[in-house]
Chains A and B, each alone.
Chain A
Amino acid sequence: MAQLISAVELWQNETSLPSVPTFSQSLDKVFGSDGVQLNTMNELLGLPGSGKTQLCIQLCASIQIPTILGGLDAEALYIDTNTNFTAKRFKETVVGSLNRCHKLLENPAEVDELAALRRLHYVNAFGLEKFCAFMYQLPNVINKHDKIKLIVIDSITFPFKVGISSTQRTGLLFRQMAELQKLAVQKQIAIVMTNEMSTRMGLSSGPLVGSLGDAWAHRCNKRVLLSHDEHDASNRIALCLKSNNSPNTVGRFRITQDGIRDIETKT
Chain B
Amino acid sequence: MVGATEEARLNQLESQVDNGGGGAWEYLCLVRKLKARRSEKVLRHGIFILNSHIARSKLGGEEWTLYEQVAVAAMDCHRNDIANDCIEALSKKFPGSIRVGRLKGMLLEAKGAWPDAEKIYAQLLVDNPLDQIILKRKVAIAKAQGNLAAAVEYLNNYLETFMADHDAWRELAELYISIQMYKQAAFCYEELILSQPTVPLYHLAYADVLYTMGGLENLQAAKKYYASTINLTGGKNTRALYGICLSSVAINQLTKGRNKDEKDSADLQPLAAEALLKDYKERAPEKLPLVTAMLRNIKLVS
Q: Do A and B interact? A: no
Q: Taking beta carbons and an 8 Å cutoff, which residues of B are in contact with A? A: none
